[in-house]
Structure 1
Amino acid sequence: MNGTADTTLVRAGTFAVLGADGGVSGRRGTSPDGLFHRDARHLSRWTLTVDGAEPAVLVPSDGEESARCVLTPPGTRDEPAAYTVFREQAVDAGVLTECLRLVNNRPAPVAAVLSLTVDADFADQFELRSDKRRYEKSGAQRTASTHAEGVTFTYERGAWLSRTAVCASPAPAAVRPVGAQDTAHRLDWHLELPAHGTAELLLTATAYAHGAPAPALVGSPAEAVAGRAADTSAFTGTPLPLPPGAPGGLAAACARGLSDLAALRVPATGPDGEHVRVPAAGIPWFLTLFGRDSLFTSLFALPYRPGLAEGTLRALAAAQGTEYDTGRGEQPGRIVHEIRHGELAHFRQVPYGRYYGSVDATPLFLVLLDSYTEATGDRALAARLEHHARAAVTWMFRDGGLDDGGYLVYSPDPQGLVNQNWKDSEGAICFLDGSQAEGPIAVAEAQGYAYDALVRTARLARSLWDDPAYADRLDSAAAGLRERFLRDFWMPGPDFPALALDGRGRQVDSLASDAGHLLWSGILDARHATRVGRRLLEPDFFSGWAIRTLASGQPGYHPLSYHRGTSWPHDNAVILLGLARCGLREEARRVALGLLEASAHHGHRLPEVMAGYSLDQHPRPVPYPHSCSPQAWAAATPLAVLTALREAG
């Protein structure tokens, strides 16, 4: 494959990662390529040769609605290529479609020989990641069967059945296996091009995933592009209320974010079996419903695209825990952290079919429910989800730890996540010396979410559910949580909240960005909130682009650590909304301008995460090497910037 740049196409829960020549080589590790649908790779090889050789790339693959590249057979200065191949590819739900248009460059007929080697390894996404785990798949069988239009690959493991059908028009002259060791096949065409004439070849690869409805047939990239364009336009078309004198780059960042959010929507099911669309977390590993990610994304977008919030609330209510299952962390009333559809989840080889290891998705569900009701005036959804909301509140007290004057806590999950807040990497909740806190752990920001959830649910109970006694109990619990939080979390020395309390009640004394979330949730009084907001803009926290997850200069700080020194746009969005809420206008504007400038350096698409190096150290934001792109809550961050600037004035 020529070149190293990849093009990513995504729509309706399907994505393809293609090389510079439009091909797929079957890579693994941190940047796999292929066609992916419902957590499985449905194409692992898709390599084109022309006249028996790898084509030269005149224009590498690029694009978002479709991928386009220009290829030729190898040629020389004295004998330039006889013909040129214009390659276009697009994805739709479960389908990759491709058009190869061959243009004869000569005034005489030309014969062109094209060959496409294809294969489907059906690898689960967890297998493709570079964590060196190996999964036993006894009894699994991959087969390939040829037919007039191409080849169909089948994967069976017990009752698990997946297929990928590759079809071509015109039909290939021959379809033959590449070797005896795998299922790869080569499709050959012999095309006659008239003088200065053209010929076209249409290809489709359709993924039939286990347990999913068959994808709708798509005839060409043009058809897929038209469908995507209409769908995207319906989502992005309503103008945003940009304030007078809006900072440069705000409009472009919001437009880029809305376009990405449109592409990242995936289908889901609501509590009554209704079909909804929700924001998936990101590409390549997280094109699925995530409780926390989808909730924050929907909160940021709520003033402008409330349909995301409605879909997210319905889908999460449908997946809410109903029983105790320690293998996946399920508890009655708990909101799901992650939903997976792949083979390994089906066979419980990973706990992620439905995994509930999140301390904060449940209170955030309640925050979004009231926020949606308040923003839209739609009282029907909160009435429909009353039972789910009450179950979520019950979980916070009974299983979450709020009973008897406690805190919302989590314990490390030996089968899942060590940390279950948004900073969920191992070692993220660390003391000043860098050592990981041991559980049960009460992280600061989750207490703020719980406080806000109680206040908001009390409002719903009083105004909508006609249950003032329940509302009074929740208000009382919120007031008690707010009072003891300041007593137990505030550190007099640094004059700043602790990152967490460990299982022995000790303050986890790192200075971390989590404190900024407390301004957004309202658990701090105005005096303490002002101290936190101003402290977060000091140089050890604020890089010039964004606020770091951990203040520099501490032993645990590392500018390339996932949660111990990098800067996350969504984290900054929450902080920014909190600064605006607390009237810290100058601080809010500095964070907003930093994020917009960082966005401009990334083509107005904010990355999931940036390295913690400061503007003084390098004139451009330094990338974090394993950042997802596009990523939903980063895509929604410019909308939060817009909201904060409107509120701050």
Structure 2
Amino acid sequence: MEYSVIKEDDLFLTTEKSGDVEGSEEKGYGLYTKDTRFLSKFELMLNDSKPSLLSSDDDENYRASMRLVEVEEDKGATEALRERFIYDGILYERMTFTNYFLEERTLKVNVHFDVDFRDMFLVRGFATGETGEKTGITYEDQSMVIGYQGKDDVPRETRITWKESGAHVVEEGEVEAIWTLAPQERKTLTFMIHPVINGGSKQALEFEEALGRLENSYEEWTSQGTKIDSDHPIFNKVYHRGVIDTRMLMTDVGFGDVPVAGVPWYSVPFGRDSLITSLFLLPFQPEQVKGTLQTLAHYQGKEENLYRDEQPGKIMHELRSGELASTGQIPFTPYYGTVDATPLFVILATEYYNWTKDEAFLKQMKPSLDKAIEWIDQYGSIRGDGFVQYQQTTDAGFVNQGWKDSDNSNVHEDGTLAKDPISLVEVQGYVYQAKTTLADVYKEIGETERAEQLREEAELLSDRFEKAFWMEEEQFYALGLDGEGKQIKALTSNPGHLLMSGISEEQRERSVAEKLVGKSLFSGYGVRTMSDDSTGYYPMSYHNGSVWPHDNAMILLGLSQVGKSEAVTVIEGLLDAAEYFEHLRLPELFCGYSKEEGHLVPYPTTCSPQAWAATASFVFLQSISGVEPDAYNEQIIVEPAFPQGMTRLKVEDMRIGEGRLSLVITKEEEGYAFEVSENTSGWELTFREKVVMD
């Protein structure tokens, strides 16, 4: 990445690789929380000049370090080491200065601060609006406070304190220290930067104590989840990267941890993104998805509001809390313009049950699940044809409201854009899966009549779906139906999401699976969003030819059931792709150029880390190990399929039911061998391979 970013809970910092925030409107660097920039300048100067960058490391996500120097050729250098992290709503930064000259040297350090309190939508140029004004800056001994009174009548301030005798304010927003350092002598200057909204304050800890607590929280996160080890080093590293990236992206807005979409610009709860990320989280730590369900249930639609695309029972798209949102100048409080989040909400709840058999939690969620189904039935079919559609209702809303939400993502064969209301292919699969899996749960808890009704509705949808969406000539499903019910005939990755739903006929599932890894859709690094022979294809397009790891992971959830060899092909491609990225971190997306054309081409602008890309590695684990829980029959099916280069996989502490599963799977000439060291789930293990070892 060209920038450095760290995050903890809902506070994040994005800077130059040097660690500086230079107030660049083009890049939007700064310290943000609640969609507001609480630091727009943070610059370090040594002896009135910018030091040169030697190295920059943010590998651990929650902490970063930058090593800088001021050099005099053939004489020596002064080094500045910047170490930073965020803990409990406070940014900590320790600067350590070392004299590497052979003689005593005078060092002047200047650190410049400023805050503009700009709403993130203004920083990014996505909106304009009326805002408040700064109320000035006050100073005390080794501290400064910069204030702001918002248009929403909310006071905001940035409190900056520092520890080092001799460091003092010399000009507005500028701290200076002048030291005389002997050879090898070090001095430190530690800053604590605390964004405050509507009063209140927190007591900063000592640097090492705060860092220790933060590190302990990461160790606890890792220890509570599924642990793996294999003889495939790339898979091991991608999985570990996914573990720590996911921890970084968890945020609690009052109802339990929920994964935000990604940093730097989507560090807020989303409907679709948080739900899909949580769906992927299940093989790692199923308990974690409860926060997502509870958060989205709290913000579930309560009224009809065209400005926000809100309807009763609908699950939100995006929640913002900055000045523009608070004053109603943008509709994200929250905004509900998403067609797929509502059925995905039901799917996540039922899949959580399938992993845990947590009946008490499902009963707690039942009112919200019922409301979600009511939204599907009452509001979902705009055209009245039994399919769920979306339609833009206000200029402030999104044109397209599926996961491919760019304006040009639905293209007909002749190059014209499809007109709404649009019925997306994958959404019909989500609705089918939501109703069938909820029927299974309701049957378990004694709601047999309601269960039968849901299943009947799902089967009627399946019959209509096959007739309306199947393209006989292409032996594939259409991307969607336009406002006139006409097929959008582009070959895309969207039908791959159907494979996990059960809506398709078996023969057609096989056709879809084979085409997904065929030459036109599979780049060699992953399934493209659009085939390279479709009108509208462009390998650098955001949604019409690029490769998205999360899209591939959604496909894998189904391929693991209907196409093991195709699933292995997709995993091998994505693991190859990971090697091209810093820290082996799968990004939001990358370009769809074929592997035959040369090296992988990164997408020019992409969020990284991105939550659903990070958790894709957990889907890899589920697909490779072949572990499939079945709460209804209290059994665990294990049917592995290893990628090339893997012969051994150890899985520890995978939470299923009320216990854990630990086992070692070994690939041998005659099949797979299994050695189970722990199964406290109380569920029966079923191995679908030749060799089983106790």
- Tell me the TM-score normalised to structure 1 length: 0.92
Q: Decide which moves more: 398-407 or 87-96.
A: 398-407
**Structure 1 residues 52 and 405 mapped into 2: Cα distance closer, same or farther (>3 Å)?**
closer
Task: Name the structure 2 match of 1:230.
Answer: 216
Displacement of 1:625 in angstroms is 1.1
Confirm or deny: 8 A CA contact 2:76 2:100 kept in the other structure.
no
Displacement of 1:105 in angstroms is 3.2
Displacement of 1:453 in angstroms is 0.4
Q: Is residue 39 from structure 1 mapped to residue 24 from structure 2 by the alignment? A: no
Aligned partner of 1:453 among 425, 434, 440? 434
Displacement of 1:518 in angstroms is 0.7
Confirm or deny: 8 A CA contact 1:46 1:119 kept in the other structure.
yes
**Structure 1 residues 448 and 402 mapped into 2: Cα distance closer, same or farther (>3 Å)?**
farther
Confirm or deny: 8 A CA contact 1:148 1:171 kept in the other structure.
no
Confirm or deny: 8 A CA contact 2:56 2:64 kept in the other structure.
no
Task: Name the structure 1 match of 2:680.
Answer: none
Displacement of 1:63 in angstroms is 4.2
Distance in 1 (CA, whole Å) between partners of 2:58 and 2:228 is 31
Confirm or deny: 8 A CA contact 1:337 1:358 kept in the other structure.
yes
Displacement of 1:191 in angstroms is 2.5
Task: Name the structure 1 match of 2:22.
Answer: 25
Distance in 1 (CA, whole Å) between partners of 2:435 and 2:202 is 42
Task: Name the structure 1 match of 2:259.
Answer: 279
Confirm or deny: 8 A CA contact 1:93 1:216 kept in the other structure.
no
Q: Is residue 561 from structure 1 mapped to residue 541 from structure 2 by the alignment? A: yes
- 1:295-316 per-residue CA deviation (whole Å, 9 max, x = no partner) reads 1111111022112211111111
Q: Is residue 516 from structure 1 mapped to residue 516 from structure 2 by the alignment? A: no
Task: Name the structure 1 match of 2:110.
Answer: 115
Distance in 2 (CA, whole Å) between partners of 1:5 and 1:634 is 19
Aligned partner of 1:52 among 38, 42, 48? 48
Matches within 5 A, 1:547-586: 547-582=527-562, 584-586=563-565
Distance in 1 (CA, whole Å) between partners of 2:571 and 2:620 is 6
Displacement of 1:216 in angstroms is 5.4
- 1:326-361 per-residue CA deviation (whole Å, 9 max, x = no partner) reads 111111111111111111111111111201111111
Task: Name the structure 1 match of 2:97.
Answer: 102
- 1:197-242 per-residue CA deviation (whole Å, 9 max, x = no partner) reads 322211111111358x74552432x334322221111112256465
Matches within 5 A, 1:39-188: 39-60=35-56, 62-64=58-60, 65-77=62-74, 79-81=75-77, 83-106=78-101, 109-131=104-126, 133-137=127-131, 139-158=132-151, 159-170=153-164, 173-177=167-171, 185-188=173-176
Partner SS for 2:162: strand
- 1:494-524 per-residue CA deviation (whole Å, 9 max, x = no partner) reads 1211111111111111111101011111110
Higher strand share: 2
**Structure 1 residues 633 and 210 mapped into 2: Cα distance closer, same or farther (>3 Å)?**
farther
- 1:259-296 per-residue CA deviation (whole Å, 9 max, x = no partner) reads 100111011223xxxxx111111011111111111111
Confirm or deny: 8 A CA contact 1:247 1:593 kept in the other structure.
no
Q: Decide which moves more: 333-342 or 246-255.
A: 246-255
Distance in 2 (CA, whole Å) between partners of 1:121 and 1:170 is 26
Partner SS for 2:464: helix
Task: Name the structure 2 match of 1:291.
Answer: 271
Distance in 2 (CA, whole Å) between partners of 1:236 and 1:95 is 23
Confirm or deny: 8 A CA contact 1:279 1:308 kept in the other structure.
no
Task: Name the structure 2 match of 1:536.
Answer: 516
Distance in 2 (CA, whole Å) between partners of 1:264 and 1:171 is 37
Q: Is residue 427 from structure 1 mapped to residue 422 from structure 2 by the alignment? A: no
Confirm or deny: 8 A CA contact 1:335 1:356 kept in the other structure.
yes
**Structure 1 residues 549 and 195 mapped into 2: Cα distance closer, same or farther (>3 Å)?**
closer
Displacement of 1:119 in angstroms is 0.4
- 1:499-552 per-residue CA deviation (whole Å, 9 max, x = no partner) reads 111111111111111010111111101111111110111111000000000100
Task: Name the structure 2 match of 1:265.
Answer: 250
Confirm or deny: 8 A CA contact 2:5 2:264 kept in the other structure.
no
Task: Name the structure 2 match of 1:627.
Answer: 606
Partner SS for 1:590: helix
Confirm or deny: 8 A CA contact 1:97 1:219 kept in the other structure.
no
Confirm or deny: 8 A CA contact 1:405 1:480 kept in the other structure.
no
Partner AA of 2:268 in structure 1: T
**Structure 1 residues 13 and 239 mapped into 2: Cα distance closer, same or farther (>3 Å)?**
closer
Q: Is residue 354 from structure 1 mapped to residue 334 from structure 2 by the alignment? A: yes
Q: Decide which moves more: 281-290 or 191-200.
A: 191-200
Matches within 5 A, 1:297-446: 297-401=277-381, 406-413=386-393, 414-446=395-427
Q: Decide which moves more: 139-148 or 530-539.
A: 139-148
Displacement of 1:58 in angstroms is 3.4
Task: Name the structure 2 match of 1:181.
Answer: none
What are structure 1's unaligned runs of at least 5 residues? 179-184, 271-275
Confirm or deny: 8 A CA contact 1:162 1:210 kept in the other structure.
yes
Distance in 2 (CA, whole Å) between partners of 1:215 and 1:74 is 39
Aligned partner of 1:253 among 218, 238, 247? 238
Aligned partner of 1:590 among 543, 566, 569? 569
Partner AA of 1:148 in structure 2: D
**Structure 1 residues 214 and 388 mapped into 2: Cα distance closer, same or farther (>3 Å)?**
farther
Partner AA of 2:234 in structure 1: G
Confirm or deny: 8 A CA contact 1:549 1:565 kept in the other structure.
yes
Partner AA of 1:441 in structure 2: I
Q: Is residue 639 from structure 1 mapped to residue 618 from structure 2 by the alignment? A: yes
Partner SS for 2:307: coil
**Structure 1 residues 315 and 422 mapped into 2: Cα distance closer, same or farther (>3 Å)?**
same
Displacement of 1:68 in angstroms is 1.8
Confirm or deny: 8 A CA contact 2:526 2:552 kept in the other structure.
yes
Task: Name the structure 1 match of 2:472.
Answer: 492
Task: Name the structure 1 match of 2:690.
Answer: none
**Structure 1 residues 592 and 59 mapped into 2: Cα distance closer, same or farther (>3 Å)?**
closer
Distance in 2 (CA, whole Å) between partners of 1:453 and 1:305 is 22
User: How many percent of aligned residue pairs carry the same amino acid?
Assistant: 33
RMSD over aligned Cα, in angstroms? 2.1
Distance in 1 (CA, whole Å) between partners of 2:98 and 2:356 is 54
Partner SS for 2:532: coil
Distance in 2 (CA, whole Å) between partners of 1:94 and 1:492 is 56
Q: Decide which moves more: 588-597 or 53-62.
A: 53-62
Displacement of 1:106 in angstroms is 4.9
Displacement of 1:572 in angstroms is 0.5
Distance in 1 (CA, whole Å) between partners of 2:231 and 2:458 is 37
**Structure 1 residues 61 and 591 mapped into 2: Cα distance closer, same or farther (>3 Å)?**
closer
Displacement of 1:176 in angstroms is 4.4
What are structure 2's unaligned runs of at least 5 residues? 627-638, 641-694
Distance in 2 (CA, whole Å) between partners of 1:361 and 1:173 is 52
